[in-house]
Structure 1
Amino acid sequence: MELRHLRYFSTLAGSLNFTRAAERLHVTQSTLSHQIKQLEDELGTQLFDRSGKRVALTEAGEAFLHHATRALQEIDRGLGALRDNPQEAAGELRIGSTPTFNLGFIPDCIAAFQPRYPGVRVVVEELAADLIAQRLQEGTLDLGIAYRPAIPGPLQFEPLYNEEMVLVVAQGHPLARRKRVRMVELHRLPMVLLPASFATRQMLDECFRS
């Protein structure tokens, strides 16, 4: 059982509506449903009754909600104490990042993070997005910085910023003076691309297929 299971359960118990709960958690309904099913499987009991038109807590769900709420309150108090006294934080933070973000974004974040949390050792691994998603589910990474993988799985995503994708060509190339290029114009042109395992390559492949 992980912290996200408790937060997902508590949020759904508060609204008794998968759509609203998923919106509050910034995840898809399928992800929320999957996480709740994981929690129920681990506990060996059904927490929500989904048989009718409305979602309802079962008797076991009502009992578990009381304890889950208290646990989350204690965790939030602990996190608040760490925010108020960051010098007391210790341990290891394991980050998976795709190569693009290691050029500037990750170093800038670590430079701002470490003076505030000197007791935390930060470990950064350069990985493809799909492998980052896999490692997060396995629990061998704490967080990942990457483009959204093709198969996101039961993970929570938080957008950081938008980035423009541009075409780089030689000065003498027929497209060099163009401000915009349609994907269809790149069809069958020789191009240098990342391997198929990278999310940006998968995004481009999907655009070409469209």
Structure 2
Amino acid sequence: MDTRLLKLFLSLTDTLHFGRASELNHISPSALSRSIKQLEDEVGVALFERNNRTVILTHEGELFREYAREALLQWDVIRDSLMEEAEELHGEISVYCSVTASYSFLYDILSQFRLNHPGVEIKLHTGDPEHAIGHILSGTEDITIAARPAPLPTGVAFKPIAISPLLFIAPAEQGALEPLLQTPISDESWAQIPMILPESGIGRQRVDEWFEQMHQKPTIYAQVAGNEAIVSMVSLGFGVGVVPRIVLDNSPLADRVQILDVQPELEAYDVGLFALEKKLKSPLIRAFWEQLKG
């Protein structure tokens, strides 16, 4: 079966950008545009409204998106079931995680999985862990690795891998910050300390809750996408940041920052695998999932 058009369609619904979607699928924007036009001709309706600046799903496109996701899921399930009957799995699994998670957790998982299932191809994509669950819900990725949010979205399964504390970090050479960072840090000092925080996501949510609990409003120097960038800015002396320990332990700049003894501690990250519960019906996805005991 040729599922290529459905996959291209879903990729475009996820990005709403012909350039990015074509890059993700290793085709030219013109080839993607022709494929979408072919699909629209086959279903008989416009699936997107598009002009020189924007791409928007039509109402019919939203309905077709649900069909496309379910059709690809059912195809994966029956295909994998047939291969399971043949006692050897073949196919591909799409995995998404941060660069840090890829070499902190994924190497061990994939090493064993490769031995057990040599016919399975792994397609690895890396990026901001904030988008991990969104990729699962949209159907663009089969498995993702990230920190568990509270609450967990309906229909999403989670399997824990590790606990990673969330740390306040300061530059090793504190310079002008030194008077503000004498422990225990006073309320007056917290009001003056320049903070380098995530733009959004679980880490930002927990930092905001911590400051609210302390009846403080942080002085935000910068809002950054990506934990590695926070470590970099802190190491340069721009302020105090918050990152998971797993990021700091794997950072080449770890010796240029120091961990602050801050009480109460921030809630730790519960890091693990995410997948749609209904995708775990697929023998291929289930085999990867069960690679981790827990």
- Relative to the length of structure 1, the TM-score reads 0.48
More strand by share: 2
Structure showing greater relative contact order (alpha-carbon pairs closer than 8 Å, 6 or more residues apart): 2
